[in-house]
Structure 1
Amino acid sequence: MGYDMFIEVVSDDEAAKVRAAEDAFHAAARSRDALNLPPGHSDFVEAQEEVERTYKVLRDADSSYFRLNIWGMSRYCEVMDQLGMVVSGYELPPFPHQPDGVTREEIDAFGDRVPGEGTPFRPEVAAYWKQLLAHLSWHIEPAFGIALHKFCTNDGWLVTPEEITAALESYRVHSAEEVKVIVGGDAEELDYWTQWIAYLQRAQHRGGFRVW
C-alpha cells in the first residue's frame, strides 16, 4: 500500500509513449510466462530481465506518475514540513453531502464518462460531482504551501498549481546543503527526493496532481 500520484494534464504525445511502453511491458511478461520454466532457468532469467527493462522504460515514459509507500510519504511530509512546503493547523471543510438516491457507482461512472457519449446522467449526480471536485481541490487562500491533509488519504485530492508554486518558493529559500541535511539518507534517497522536486515542477505547469 502507498500513494500513487498522477499529474492532471497529460499531453497526447506522452500518453502515446506510455501506451506503447505498456504494450511492450505486457508483451515481455506474456513471453516470460509462456516459457513455463522455473525462475532459475537461464531462459527465464533472460526473459525476466527483459520484463524489468521494459518496466523501467514504462516508468521513465510516464513522467506524470510518482509513487511513495506509506513510510516514504510519512517521511516526505516531515521533510516538506521542515522546508516550509506544507501547511497544517487549518479546519478542513467537510465532504459534501451525497444526495439521497445517488449511488457510489453512479458517481464513479460519471467521473469515468467520455463527454458526449453514453446515456445522460441525472442532474443531481453531475451537481454532486462538481461539489466533490471543488472539495478535493480546496486549500487555504492564498496558498502558502500544500495542504497537509492531501498527503494523508487516498481520496483523489488535487494538489493545485497554486499550492505547488508556494511550496517550491519555500523550498528554494534553502541551500542545497540544508536540503541534503534535512532529507538525510544515502545518495539513492537524495536522488529520489530530487526526482520528487522535478515532479512538482512538472505538475506546477500541468494542472497539479491527484493523490490516490
Structure 2
Amino acid sequence: MGYDMYLVRTPPGEDAAYEAASRSFDAAVEHRDRLELPHGHPEHQAAQTEVTRAYDAMESARTTHFCLTTWAMGDCRTLMDHFGMLVAAQPPDRPLPRAHAITSGQALPAPAGDAAAVQAQQYRRALEARLSWAPPHPGGIAAHKLGGDEGWIVTPGEIHAALAAYGTSRTTNPALLSEVVADADWWPAWIDYLHHAAGHGGFRTYGPPVT
C-alpha cells in the first residue's frame, strides 16, 4: 500500500498515446510468448528486449500518475518540510449531507431525475471546495494534503510556492541535496512531477486511511 497522485487535468492526447503504447506492449509480449523458446535463446532475448522497450515507452506515456510507497512518502514529507516546501494549514470542516438536505446515501452519484440530485451535486461541490482549499497566498503545500485517503487536491499556487522555497533551499545547502538524491532516487522525478502538475491544475493525493 502506498500513495498515488493524479493530475487534476490529463494532458491533451495522453490517453490516446497511452492506449497506443499499451497495444504495442501487448503485441510485443504476445510475439515473445508465441516463440516458445528458452529464455537463453538469442531470438527470445531479442524479443524480451523489445518487450522491455515497449513497457518503458508505455510507462513514459502516462505522465498523469505518480506513486510512492508509504515509507517513501514519509521520507518525502520529511524532506519537503526540511526544504520549507510544506506549511501547516487548517482546511474547512467537512460538509455534512444533512446541511444540504440529503442523506449519506443520497450523497452518492444519483440517476438523472432523482429528486435529491441537485442537493447531492451541491454537496459534492462543497466537498470538492474543501479538498482543494488553500490560503489566498499559500507559502507551500498544506502538509495534510499529502496524507490520508480523501483525495486532497494540491493546487498550482501551492506547488509554485513549494518549488520557490525548494529553489532557495537547495542553493544554500547543495551538499544536503546531493545526499538526498543519493538516498532517495525518486526525489528528482518527484520534483519533475510537481513542475508538471503545476501546469495541469495540480494533483490529487490518495493514500492509506488515517487511523
Q: Distance in 1 between matches of 2:75 and 2:4?
A: 16
Q: Distance in 2 between matches of 1:44 and 1:128?
A: 56
In structure 2, the partner of 1:5 is 5
Asked if the contact 1:79/1:183 (under 8 Å) is kept, the reply is: no
Q: Distance in 2 between matches of 1:80 and 1:196?
A: 11
Q: Secondary structure of the residue that 1:184 maps to in structure 2?
A: helix
Q: Distance in 2 between matches of 1:156 and 1:66?
A: 14
RMSD over aligned CA atoms reads 3.0
Q: Secondary structure of the residue that 2:169 maps to in structure 1?
A: coil
Q: Relative to structure 1, is the Cα distance of residues 41 and 98 closer, same or farther in structure 2, using a 3 angstrom cutoff?
A: farther
Per-residue CA distance 1:19-67 (angstroms, 9 max, x = gap): 21223334445556677889x5757766655443322212211222211
In structure 1, the partner of 2:164 is 169
Offset, 1:120:
4.8
Equivalent in 125, 129, 133 of residue 134 of structure 1: 129
Which one-letter code corresponds to 2:96 in the other structure?
H
Q: Distance in 1 between matches of 2:97 and 2:199?
A: 32
In structure 2, the partner of 1:60 is 60
The runs of 5 or more residues in structure 2 that have no matched partner are: 207-211
Matched, 1:95 2:94: yes
In structure 2, the partner of 1:201 is 195
Equivalent in 108, 112, 123 of residue 119 of structure 1: 112
In structure 2, the partner of 1:158 is 153
Per-residue CA distance 1:84-118 (angstroms, 9 max, x = gap): 00112x433332113443428x63x47xxxxxxx8
Larger Rg over CA atoms: 2
Q: Secondary structure of the residue that 2:97 maps to in structure 1?
A: coil
Name the stretch that deviates more: 48-57 or 122-131: 48-57
Q: Relative to structure 1, is the Cα distance of residues 35 and 206 closer, same or farther in structure 2, using a 3 angstrom cutoff?
A: same
Q: Secondary structure of the residue that 2:157 maps to in structure 1?
A: helix
In structure 2, the partner of 1:114 is none
Q: TM-score, normalised by structure 1?
A: 0.78
- Percent identity for Structure 1 against Structure 2: 34
Q: Distance in 2 between matches of 1:51 and 1:155?
A: 36
Q: Secondary structure of the residue that 1:84 maps to in structure 2?
A: coil
Q: Distance in 2 between matches of 1:25 and 1:206?
A: 27
Q: Relative to structure 1, is the Cα distance of residues 78 and 160 closer, same or farther in structure 2, using a 3 angstrom cutoff?
A: same
Q: Secondary structure of the residue that 1:6 maps to in structure 2?
A: strand
Asked if the contact 1:157/1:210 (under 8 Å) is kept, the reply is: yes
Q: Distance in 2 between matches of 1:60 and 1:177?
A: 32
Q: TM-score, normalised by structure 2?
A: 0.78
